[in-house]
């Protein structure tokens, strides 16, 4: 866990300047649920009670990437940009429940020919500043990166999604994550299953009794593969295959010594890795230039929240996080500074639920 940083002067003045409009509008936390709130996220986040949100998923504007009109992203230096993100992150930590998660997706930037490692610098600053842990750096591999080849560098085609938590008791539903999309171990094929082992057993220096038992167990395991009970297997035969290192009494080394062989079953459940391969999404007629893939956000929501939980995005843009949350039976709160994007997000949400407009700055 990192140590907590003292609130800086800059943060205090930023909040003092922006808190005023709220007092004029005054609406409650409950009003924000299942709504897109227009306003500066620092101001809006300050209206949300401590420990009240289950999951925060967001993608702030990347540094000097686009002009969204106002808000974060066009600071003079990378340091100022990261500092502003840290202010927002600080509120996210405060409002997050103890068993909740925060996921930040950030993009990098080249300045004068050098990659700035902005997402990682942000993540390091978070670890130094807040009592949180990073569970994963989930890499989004873009299947359709911008088709522009540089002469002296490779095309960037990945972005991190950092998964932060406040405690080890964070909610996690691995079963629902990327169902059937994990990396499967290759299945051994057809009638050749285990064929090589029959020959190896025959030609081995095992006793007759050991050979008989090995052939019998080999036949049984082949049937298990054929019936789909297990994905595959490996066999080790004394005098032919290398001995396993270490191990305990009764373990594989022991079996190899006593029985003359050992069989390792491969169950074949998909391994759920910290990589998501997915194309960059475009929505026909979209008013927003930087939409992240709905499918990634849905997987993360399934992994990190339960039905009816509150999912919040402080940089909601076109409303992707809210759409994903609603489609999965979660509640949402979206915050967006740009009025036009708020309207666009509300339009996307109209198809799947009631959307009452809320404006912080009228």
Ligand X SMILES: C[S@@+](CC[C@H](N)C(=O)[O-])C[C@H]1O[C@@H](n2cnc3c(N)ncnc32)[C@H](O)[C@@H]1O
Residue (61 or 260) nearer to ligand X, CB:
61
Q: Measured from the CB of residue 44, what is the shortest distance to ligand X in angstroms?
A: 8
Radius of gyration of the CA atoms of the chain, in A: 27
Q: How many CA atoms lie within 13 A of 270 on its CB side?
A: 13
Q: Measured from the CB of residue 62, what is the shortest distance to ligand X in angstroms?
A: 7
Residue (88 or 165) nearer to ligand X, CB:
88
Residue (88 or 310) nearer to ligand X, CB:
88
Please report the DSSP string for 123-163 in residue order.
Answer: HHHHHHHSS-EEEEEEEEEESS------SSSPPP-EEEEEE
Q: Which two tokens stand for residue 187?
A: 């299945």
Residue showing tokens 């094929």: 189
- Which residues contribute to the site for ligand X (CB under 6 A)? 40-41, 59-61, 68, 71-72, 288, 290-292, 315, 317-318, 320, 335-338, 341
d(CA 65, CA 71): 13
Q: Measured from the CB of residue 359, what is the shortest distance to ligand X in angstroms?
A: 13
Nearest CA to 79 out of 41, 128, 116, 133 is that of: 116
Q: Measured from the CB of residue 338, what is the shortest distance to ligand X in angstroms?
A: 4
d(CA 75, CA 79): 9
Whether residue 292 contacts residue 320, with contact meaning beta carbons closer than 8 Å, is answered with yes
Q: Measured from the CB of residue 322, what is the shortest distance to ligand X in angstroms?
A: 9
Q: Measured from the CB of residue 218, what is the shortest distance to ligand X in angstroms?
A: 53
Whether residue 280 contacts residue 150, with contact meaning beta carbons closer than 8 Å, is answered with no
Q: Measured from the CB of residue 100, what is the shortest distance to ligand X in angstroms?
A: 19
CA distances from 343 to 47, 222, 248, 281 (A): 22, 60, 64, 20
Residue (91 or 231) nearer to ligand X, CB:
91
Q: Measured from the CB of residue 154, what is the shortest distance to ligand X in angstroms?
A: 23
Residue (63 or 292) nearer to ligand X, CB:
292
Of all residues in the shown chain, the one whose CB is closest to ligand X is 71
Residue (260 or 317) nearer to ligand X, CB:
317
Q: Measured from the CB of residue 232, what is the shortest distance to ligand X in angstroms?
A: 40
In sequence order, the 6+-apart residues with CB closer than 8 A to the CB of 311 are 53, 54, 55, 56, 57, 301, 305, 321, 322, 324, 325, 330, 331, 332, 333
d(CA 156, CA 110): 10
Residue (72 or 123) nearer to ligand X, CB:
72
SS3 category, 65: coil
At residue 125, φ and ψ (nearest 5 deg) are -60, -40
Residue (71 or 244) nearer to ligand X, CB:
71
Residue (122 or 292) nearer to ligand X, CB:
292
């Amino acid at each position: 866990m990192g140590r907590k940083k003292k609130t800086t002067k800059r943060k205090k003045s930023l909040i003092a300047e922006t808190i005023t409009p709220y007092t004029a509008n005054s609406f409650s936390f409950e009003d924000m649920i299942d709504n897109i709130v227009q306003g500066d996220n620092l101001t809006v986040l300050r209206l949300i009670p401590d420990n009240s949100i289950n999951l925060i998923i967001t993608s702030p504007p990347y540094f000097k990437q686009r002009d969204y009109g106002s808000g974060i992203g066009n600071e003079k230096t990378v340091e100022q940009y990261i500092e502003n993100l840290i202010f927002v992150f600080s509120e996210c930590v405060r409002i997050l429940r103890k068993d909740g998660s925060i996921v930040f997706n950030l993009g990098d930037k080249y300045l004068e020919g050098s990659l700035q490692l902005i997402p990682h610098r942000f993540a390091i600053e978070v670890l130094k500043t807040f009592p949180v842990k990073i569970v994963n750096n989930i890499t989004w591999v873009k299947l359709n990166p911008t088709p522009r080849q540089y002469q002296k560098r490779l095309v960037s085609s990945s972005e991190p999604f950092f998964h932060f938590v406040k405690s080890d008791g964070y909610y996690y539903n691995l079963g629902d994550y990327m169902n059937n999309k994990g990396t499967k171990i290759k299945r051994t094929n057809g009638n050749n299953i285990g064929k090589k082992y029959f020959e190896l057993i025959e030609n081995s220096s095992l006793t007759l009794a050991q050979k008989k038992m090995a052939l019998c167990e080999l036949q049984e395991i082949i049937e298990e593969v054929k019936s789909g009970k297990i994905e595959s297997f490996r066999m080790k035969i004394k005098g032919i295959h290398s001995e396993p290192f270490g191990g305990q009494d009764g373990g594989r080394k022991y079996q190899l010594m006593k029985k003359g062989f050992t069989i390792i079953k491969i169950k074949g459940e998909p391994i759920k890795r910290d990589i998501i391969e997915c194309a960059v999404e475009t929505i026909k007629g979209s008013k927003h230039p930087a939409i992240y893939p709905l499918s990634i956000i849905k997987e993360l929501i399934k992994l990190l929240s339960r039905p009816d939980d509150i999912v919040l995005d402080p940089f909601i843009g076109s409303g992707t996080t809210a759409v994903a949350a609603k489609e999965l039976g979660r509640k949402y709160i979206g915050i967006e500074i740009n009025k036009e994007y708020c309207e666009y997000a509300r339009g996307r949400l109209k198809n799947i639920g009631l959307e009452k407009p809320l404006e912080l700055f009228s």
